[in-house]
Chains A and B, each alone.
Chain A
Amino acid sequence: MTRIAILLAFAIGLTAPSAAAEPAAGVATLQRAAIMVKNRPATVKFYREVLGYTEEPTSTDIRLPTDHPLGMPPDAVLSMTYMKSLDGAFVAVMGVDSKEMGTVTRPTGNANAYNDVMLVHVVTGIEAIHARAVAGGYTVLSPPILSRSGRAKQMFLRDPNGIKIELNEMIEPKK
């Protein structure tokens, strides 16, 4: 009995401190992806007319303090349009008007790179999206083709800023 009590106390002693050491809640909700762009209207047009995003209000003439951690050059004047996908996810298109702002240099063509980011979508009407992208003169990396798993039609393209986008339209399983 004593042994059991000691074992119990030991067990409690072992578990209690670790529970107390449990980190305080610190959780993050992904609210939006923000894209820094030179041509905001062209980017907004792409997400609206090709991907079917809804355009939300635009804020213009935003000037940040020179020490602001967004890392904008001192001459930068910003504008921002929120775009909303069908499921309510946001892409914030941040226009940066600046002579000093550089551009991320991505590999050309379909090539990819470490540390780059891709926005993955599930879509309906992938053929229509493809037609819109081609008609709009956007960079289609590969037309809709069957994915490796055979469960989706898959297409890759770039937005006007070179950001890679993967689209998947699920195929109804055969009965």
Chain B
Amino acid sequence: MRKLTLAVLVAVAGLAAGATAQDQAVSSTYLRTAIFVADRAATVKFFREVMGYEELTTNDLAPAEAGNGLGLPAGAKRTLTGMKSKDGAGLSIMGVDHPDFKPLARPGQAGNAGGDVMFVHQVKNIAEIHRRAVAGGYEVLWGPKPSNTGRSMQMFLRDPNGVRLELFEMLPEKK
């Protein structure tokens, strides 16, 4: 009986060690989000002037090779601008120039669809961001208005490529 207990303990310890090793073997750090755009300059302008992102370097990349992992047409001209949000999150704006590269169809206006992605931001001075968005002629979908919970002011808009953004600014807690 004691032998059996010992064997079970050894087996459990072995499994635990294996699980730990496996957990440590893999990790993913979400580094940045990349957007593939027709008009890189307009997208950079939006994230800089409306959202307050910092514009980093811009580089002309080598034309896309056939069978490239990004799935771009062979020979596509690529220009990449790195942008950084206030908290240091990265956004890569990849301008792609090729006649065979087609746009993704999204539902119009406020419509949404399965498989789509939205960028959620916590912001400071949502009224100012709204003013900038309106002044820039960007598509404001809603707000700023109090959220359902009443704990934040919330606003939805689209970037120049139709990517939906949710912005919220926390309201001071009532005492």
- Give the interface of A toward B (CB within 8 A): 23-38, 51-53, 64-65, 68-72, 85-87, 89, 91-92, 96, 101-107, 109-125, 128-129, 132, 141-142, 148, 154-156, 161-164, 166-168
Contact = CB atoms under 8 A, between A and B. Distances in A.
Interface residues of B, number: 73
Given A28-B51, A121-B30, A125-B27, A114 B38 contact: yes
A72 B112 contact: yes
Can you list the 10 inter-chain pairs with the closest CB atoms, starting with the nearest? A69-B142, A71-B112, A112-B71, A26-B128, A89-B30, A30-B89, A27-B52, A114-B103, A125-B26, A28-B121
A98 B104 CA distance: 22
B152 to A, nearest CB: 12
B57 interface: no
Contact of B115 (A91, A103, A123, A124): A103
A34 B166 contact: yes
Given A26-B52, A30-B85, A33-B120, A121 B114 contact: no
B137 interface: no
Contacts of B118: 33-36
26 contacts: A26-B52, A26-B123, A28-B51, A28-B86, A30-B89, A32-B120, A33-B117, A33-B118, A34-B119, A34-B120, A35-B117, A35-B118, A69-B156, A70-B166, A71-B107, A72-B112, A104-B106, A106-B104, A107-B71, A115-B106, A119-B30, A120-B30, A120-B32, A121-B31, A156-B71, A163-B115
Given A31-B121, A107-B71, A121-B30, A115 B101 contact: no
A113 B102 contact: yes
B113 A115 contact: no
Given A30-B89, A106-B115, A118 B33 contact: yes
B143 interface: yes
Contacts of B20: none
A34 B115 CA distance: 10
Contact of B110 (A71, A118, A156, A164): A71
A33 B29 CA distance: 14
B125 A161 contact: no
